[in-house]
Chains A and B, each alone.
Chain A
Amino acid sequence: MGDKDGKSSPSKKNKKGKDMDELKKEVPITEHKMSIEECCRKFNTDIVQGLTNAKAAEFLIRDGPNCLTPPPTTPEWIKFCRQLFGGFSILLWTGAILCFLAYAIQAATEDEPAGDNLYLGIVLSVVVVVTGCFSYFQEAKSSKIMESFKNMVPQQALVIREGEKMTINAEEVVAGDLVEVKGGDRIPADLRVVSAHGCKVDNSSLTGESEPQSRSPDCTHDNPLETRNVAFFSTNCVEGTARGIVVCTGDRTVMGRIATLTSGLESGKTPIAKEIEHFIHLITGVAVFLGITFFILAVCLGYTWLEAVIFLIGIIVANVPEGLLATVTVCLTLTAKRMAKKNCLVKNLEAVETLGSTSTICSDKTGTLTQNRMTVAHMWFDNQIHEADTTEDQSGASFDKTSASWAALARVAALCNRAVFKAGQDQLPILKRDTAGDASESALLKCIELSCGSVKQIREKNKKVAEIPFNSTNKYQLSVHETEDPNDNRYLLVMKGAPERILDRCTTIIIQGKEQPMDEEMKESFQNAYMELGGLGERVLGFCHLLMPEDQYPKGFAFDCDDVNFTTESLCFVGLMSMIDPPRAAVPDAVGKCRSAGIKVIMVTGDHPITAKAIAKGVGIISEGNETVEDIASRLNIPVSQVNPRDAKACVIHGTDLKELSQDQMDDILRNHTEIVFARTSPQQKLIIVEGCQRLGAIVAVTGDGVNDSPALKKADIGVAMGISGSDVSKQAADMILLDDNFASIVTGVEEGRLIFDNLKKSIAYTLTSNIPEITPFLLFIIVNIPLPLGTITILCIDLGTDMVPAISLAYEAAESDIMKRQPRNPTRDKLVNERLISIAYGQIGMIQALGGFFSYFVILAENGFLPSILVGIRLNWDDRACNDLEDSYGQQWTYEQRKIVEFTCHTAFFVSIVVVQWADVIVCKTRRNSVFQQGMKNKILIFGLFEETALAAFLSYTPGMDVALRMFPLKPSWWFCAVPYSVLIFVYDEIRKLLIRRNPGGKWLSLSLCITFRPESCHEICICNFTHKSLIDTKTRKLSNASLFSSPTLSSYRLGGKGDILLSDGYRLYSYPYIFHLFLPPFIPSLARHVFRCPTP
């Protein structure tokens, strides 16, 4: 549909493309840099009076209502049609149409046309429609349409027009309106703040910052997303009040642009859809080739043109695997169900496999990799850094809690803290409880509650008498409390705040519970600790206290907090505490698993580079020992510009730098760094990163939870949203939802995806194999004029009956080797169905099966009197209704009906033979490399399938009435065994084939040996030559010298393009990035797996 539109109006498409490019650019808001007056002038508004009603009405007409254009929803019937006519179905429809065409030709030319083609056409149509309905309902069930953007629009807004405050519908807000918001409101449009009182907004859905940001009228940053004086449409005001001028409304707001961008993005075809397309091409190719060949043969043999056309159609249709559509759908559904059980909800059935093909994961940080909850990570007291336990289940390390300094620090942290637990959560573990208060205070609260017991009791014992809340000029917060000791009438002053400010106010420091003067040495060690914790990306707070002298501040002293009448100097420094949003426990392991599965994990976050890098190191996205350019520079003590960027495998890229990069530079970074962190990225940049990866041929998965992730989620090959913390928008844009928000579930997804890809391959190989014994009877019928050995009905009984359950049961097959230890498949090379699979299925196993079927066919005819010798050329008489005395080899004479019964018995026997040879085939298809004896027969569904197909075959053959209903006749018991030798042959043949493959993993007949040489003059040229196993092992022990590499004689050379890799032979794959070559060896030589060769730079 979209294509058609595009063709008919190219200008429209161009315009659309331009719009999308425009949307991908950064937010064009500039008002934050203007003064308030300039702003007012720009919008013809007044800072006190607001707009006039007339102006507002005029603007409303000019700009339209302040609401988001809902994303164009596809009507249900189009979705249904997509299921009905998409991908595989089109093959079956073509088959059905050809059948009807053939029947029409027959009906027009023959008196009594055989109904076969008509029935086949009908059955094909029914199969498509039924499967289409099935997958439609399956998807409708998992993807409920959430019109979430609509829900995000605030209902009411308080505006000032002509000096009057009025509450209007948020849709009527126009640019230039003066708007007031207070805590709890949703921001009605993008606002330039003109005045604010303790206003904080929650921007997490837009930028990924986990904590509320304060708003004020001052411009603090050039970037509109970071400056303090802009509040964004549909974010929440958490506390305080603010007044602002509306600068953008509706789709022009930052959120609106993201929404438009997201809904405008076309996500490409899923990898499995591409594979199925490729498969259809192959099958169609084979079908048309066979059809044309036999059409020509038929014409040469003297058939009429019409007959030949009917044969042509018949052969093409016979190649259509009728049951495969249903099999694939069921297999995918089963996997989707299995994944849902493991907390991966798949919205689009085809996306089930995508994670398995994924080669790059772009993960958001906040909420995906981290817990999205500030937690105390480190403390510094007694001149020592102590590590706090940040794990979700408190399984981490603990620290020495006996020190008196810790007691003092804990007391300060507990008292100088306004956060409280919300009521009624006593049963919950402390970390799970909800708190009221800001993120860092809550972190402190939980930390103290965990290590020292009830904070509430501490506070009760130390009654608060005065308090100065945090503000941005002081950068500290203090409170004054009574002491625990009722006899002690002194007051306790506790203070926390920015460490350097706190240190400035201190003259002493507590060490091991004793006050000591703050000397230079102490100050330096404080600085070191502060730098170190800051370097970990943690937010550091300093704590100090003072027991106020009783003579100056006697009991009942009136502390005045507005006009401070007490000392806030010469305090006693207690310690530092630092907080971070810690990584989820399961993430490092999951990242490691992705790594070993050859998946590149990139972090893309809106957060600060230092925090991002710290988390990246924490979870292993930047692995131990890998350095960024900056790290190398600081280690070697040289300027960053002198470091060769090729030496650094890791890199951290800031959003502002990303803006400056050209496409080539971007590709270069993505290609040459294995460990990348993007920090401070905007939603548009996330999208650009995803597109960059896709340009390099990667299949990209994006995980995220915020609105800011949604364009990237949509663009990615598979978008993974978080089920609990994720915004509705992100869930809607995603293809998969992690119900437990656990990044580790992605590993499950990858595993299941890879498994289903392997197993689909097996299912398809199994199903395709029986195509040959189904087609060859018809071909021989045409060419050598024998009675038809297998009829349409029996073919359908195989494809839609006996083959179904075994084919589906292969979806339950366990993996052959550790699928998480191999590289992701290369979409250009590792196809679902390739020539090799067709060659084995059609050319080898299929042929054996056909012989098995023909053997039982000949047995039955011979035992009934028609020896093979008289069968050739008998067809014309055989199918002549008027010939009722056809003579057999023994001289007996047969009526038409009598010999037809024998023929149908042959069909039944052929059918049963296919079932018998398919026994062996399903066992053979279980594994692609391992022997069945290694793999075992643990797949219970498969065993059930074997019995089921046999029982079904017996049922079809022996049930009374089947002779009339399906023209199938009872078989003599001995006829069941005709195909058994062929069944055994299939098994033995394939076991030998697999044995050879295992022995010669390279797929060569001779003992395999490979080596790689690099031509120094061009890194794009690599040579493959012989070398022995021994030198491979040498490579492993790093003893293989360059000399031996280069001196080997070359066999053949391949020129490589900029991307992709080349397949040396079966399991050996050579990745070619211009400067680094990876040689991946198959998993059964684990000790040799994965080596990275670096090409000498030219």
Chain B
Amino acid sequence: MAKDAEKSTWKDFIWNSRTREFCGRTGSSWGLILLFYLVFYIFLAGMFCLTMYVMLQTLDDYKPTWQDRLGTPGMMIRPRGQAMEISYNTTNTETWDMYIKTLDNFLSPYNNSLQAEKNEECTPDQYFIQADSGDVKNNPKRSCQFNRTFLEKCSGLDDHTYGYQAGKPCIIIKLNRVIGMLPGKDGQAPFVTCGAKKEDSDKIGEVEYYPENGTFNLMYYPYYGKKAQVNYSQPLVAIKFLNITLNEDINIECRIISNNIPPGSVRDKFAGKVSFKLRINTKG
């Protein structure tokens, strides 16, 4: 008997036909509740938008409020490979074709013609500072040319395979853009140096850097942000492995050498350095 009663109350709870109640409330009651929540949430959304608007008003358009997490700029390579692992087979075109494409795409903005059209030649070895005069913004800011030919053998102009087919691959290294960063003092430009990790040190063979010494010329700094400096060309360094040991995993680490950039945190493997794995197979 008690069970019957329970059953009917449960059914009644879902839809009580006598009082016309759904889940214990009439339609108008549910309607009022929904209306209340609608109004309430619209109000909340309005309040949120207002606070967001106020917050966005406090931001500078050209420079983020805080940059303290970017003290040591990150470094990155192209092609990126699969999780920082570049491995291919010289005999199998398909395994390295994508690297070539990546590099082609990546370097196409650096074509000399494009650079000449958009950017200007600057005085090398000194910062290209374009200060604002007070409130008057000196915009848009000009950028310096970084021509693809600076990369010489790694420019992909002469060797369309960037040395991949020959087992002498090019890797392009770039330093992350950070607004206002001046990467060297006393006119000394930062440069990249690569080496193998511990046990692989004898397997890395000879490495060539382009531009010479693997330097990032000071004239490309400081960076003024993508709004002020629309056509900024990030300077690059290419390295070419001339006689790397084949058919073996080789762990390579490249780091920036500068008298101005603090060493990154131990946890961050990409602050001021970049490590990757290279494996070139020759056998089918």
Write the B181-223 contact mask toward A (1 if CB under 8 angstroms, else 0): 0000000000000000000000000000000000000000001
Q: How far is the CB of B84 from chain A (nearest CB, A)?
A: 5
Residue of B nearest to A868 (CB): B52
Contacts of A863 in B (CB 8 A): 59, 64-66
Could you write out 22 A-B pairs with CB less than 8 Å apart? A847-B41, A847-B44, A855-B55, A858-B52, A864-B64, A882-B83, A884-B75, A884-B176, A890-B227, A891-B179, A891-B223, A891-B225, A891-B229, A892-B67, A892-B179, A893-B177, A895-B270, A896-B268, A897-B265, A897-B267, A898-B268, A981-B51
When the two chains form their complex, are residues A985 and B74 in contact, meaning their CB atoms are under 8 A apart? Answer: no
A793 at the binding interface (Cβ < 8 Å): no
User: Of A854, A881, A885, A897, which one neighbours B76 at CB under 8 angstroms?
Assistant: A885
Contacts of A847 in B (CB 8 A): 41, 44
Contacts of A864 in B (CB 8 A): 64-67, 69
| Chain A residues in the interface with B (C-beta under 8 A) | 843-844, 847-848, 851, 854-855, 858-859, 862-865, 867-868, 881-885, 887-899, 901-902, 972, 981, 985, 1052, 1054-1055, 1057
When the two chains form their complex, are residues B69 and A985 in contact, meaning their CB atoms are under 8 A apart? Answer: no
When the two chains form their complex, are residues B83 and A881 in contact, meaning their CB atoms are under 8 A apart? Answer: yes
Q: How far is the CB of A1002 from chain B (nearest CB, A)?
A: 14
Residue of B nearest to A893 (CB): B176
Interface centre among B18, B62, B74, B178 (most CB of A within 10 A): B74
Residue of B nearest to A839 (CB): B33
Q: How far is the CB of B50 from chain A (nearest CB, A)?
A: 9
Q: A863-B64, A884-B274 are in contact. Are A890 and B83 (CB under 8 A)?
A: no
B30 at the binding interface (Cβ < 8 Å): no
Contacts of A898 in B (CB 8 A): 69-70, 74, 268, 271
10 shortest A-B CB distances, which residue pairs? Answer: A891-B226, A895-B74, A897-B268, A893-B176, A865-B64, A863-B65, A895-B270, A884-B270, A885-B76, A890-B225
B14 at the binding interface (Cβ < 8 Å): no
Further contacts, 17 of them, CB under 8 A, given A855-B48, A892-B179: A843-B37, A847-B41, A854-B48, A855-B52, A862-B65, A863-B64, A863-B65, A864-B66, A867-B56, A867-B59, A882-B83, A884-B176, A885-B74, A888-B64, A891-B227, A893-B76, A895-B271
When the two chains form their complex, are residues B48 and A885 in contact, meaning their CB atoms are under 8 A apart? Answer: no
Q: How far is the CB of A730 from chain B (nearest CB, A)?
A: 32
Contacts of A902 in B (CB 8 A): 69
Q: How far is the CB of A1058 from chain B (nearest CB, A)?
A: 10
Contacts of A843 in B (CB 8 A): 37
Cα distance A844–B44 in the bound complex, in angstroms: 10
When the two chains form their complex, are residues A892 and B270 in contact, meaning their CB atoms are under 8 A apart? Answer: no
Contacts of A899 in B (CB 8 A): 69
Cα distance A901–B71 in the bound complex, in angstroms: 13
B80 at the binding interface (Cβ < 8 Å): yes
Q: How far is the CB of A852 from chain B (nearest CB, A)?
A: 9
When the two chains form their complex, are residues B80 and A882 in contact, meaning their CB atoms are under 8 A apart? Answer: yes
Contacts of A859 in B (CB 8 A): 55
Chain B, interface size category, equals: 35 or more
B232 at the binding interface (Cβ < 8 Å): yes
Cα distance A897–B80 in the bound complex, in angstroms: 17
Cα distance A890–B179 in the bound complex, in angstroms: 8
Cα distance A972–B179 in the bound complex, in angstroms: 21
Contacts of B279 in A (CB 8 A): none
Cα distance A892–B76 in the bound complex, in angstroms: 13
Q: How far is the CB of B99 from chain A (nearest CB, A)?
A: 15
B63 at the binding interface (Cβ < 8 Å): yes
When the two chains form their complex, are residues B74 and A894 in contact, meaning their CB atoms are under 8 A apart? Answer: yes
Task: Tell me the residues in window 75-104 of chain B with beta carbons closer than 8 Å to chain A beta carbons.
Answer: 75-76, 80, 83-84
When the two chains form their complex, are residues B177 and A892 in contact, meaning their CB atoms are under 8 A apart? Answer: yes
Cα distance A898–B71 in the bound complex, in angstroms: 10
B153 at the binding interface (Cβ < 8 Å): no
Contacts of A865 in B (CB 8 A): 64, 67
Residue of A nearest to B269 (CB): A897
Residue of A nearest to B23 (CB): A835
Residue of A nearest to B45 (CB): A851
Residue of A nearest to B267 (CB): A897
User: Of A848, A889, A1057, which one neighbours B44 at CB under 8 angstroms?
Assistant: A848
Residue of A nearest to B224 (CB): A891
Contacts of A868 in B (CB 8 A): 52
Cα distance A897–B37 in the bound complex, in angstroms: 41
B174 at the binding interface (Cβ < 8 Å): yes
Contacts of B267 in A (CB 8 A): 897
Write the B20-34 contact mask toward A (1 if CB under 8 angstroms, else 0): 000000000000000
Write the B220-240 contact mask toward A (1 if CB under 8 angstroms, else 0): 000101110100100000000
Contacts of B56 in A (CB 8 A): 862, 867
Contacts of B69 in A (CB 8 A): 864, 894, 898-899, 901-902
Contacts of B179 in A (CB 8 A): 890-892
Cα distance A896–B271 in the bound complex, in angstroms: 9
Q: A859-B55, A897-B271, A901-B69 are in contact. Are A892 and B37 (CB under 8 A)?
A: no
B114 at the binding interface (Cβ < 8 Å): no
Contacts of A890 in B (CB 8 A): 62-64, 179, 225-227
Q: How far is the CB of B270 from chain A (nearest CB, A)?
A: 4
Write the B38-50 contact mask toward A (1 if CB under 8 angstroms, else 0): 0011001001100
When the two chains form their complex, are residues B40 and A844 in contact, meaning their CB atoms are under 8 A apart? Answer: yes
Cα distance A981–B52 in the bound complex, in angstroms: 12
B133 at the binding interface (Cβ < 8 Å): no
Contacts of A844 in B (CB 8 A): 40
Q: How far is the CB of B88 from chain A (nearest CB, A)?
A: 17
B19 at the binding interface (Cβ < 8 Å): yes
Residue of A nearest to B50 (CB): A981
Residue of B nearest to A897 (CB): B268
Q: A897-B271, A972-B66 are in contact. Are A885 and B174 (CB under 8 A)?
A: yes
Cα distance A867–B53 in the bound complex, in angstroms: 12
Residue of B nearest to A884 (CB): B270
When the two chains form their complex, are residues A893 and B74 in contact, meaning their CB atoms are under 8 A apart? Answer: yes
User: Of A851, A894, A896, A1054, which one neighbours B48 at CB under 8 angstroms?
Assistant: A851
Cα distance A890–B18 in the bound complex, in angstroms: 64
Contacts of A1057 in B (CB 8 A): 5
Contacts of A892 in B (CB 8 A): 64, 67, 70, 176-179, 223, 225
Q: A844-B40, A851-B47, A891-B226 are in contact. Are A897 and B270 (CB under 8 A)?
A: yes
User: Of B44, B63, B76, B227, which one neighbours A884 at CB under 8 angstroms?
Assistant: B76
Contacts of B265 in A (CB 8 A): 897
When the two chains form their complex, are residues A862 and B76 in contact, meaning their CB atoms are under 8 A apart? Answer: no
Contacts of A896 in B (CB 8 A): 268, 270
Cα distance A859–B56 in the bound complex, in angstroms: 8
Q: How far is the CB of A777 from chain B (nearest CB, A)?
A: 15
Residue of A nearest to B51 (CB): A855
Q: How far is the CB of A892 from chain B (nearest CB, A)?
A: 5
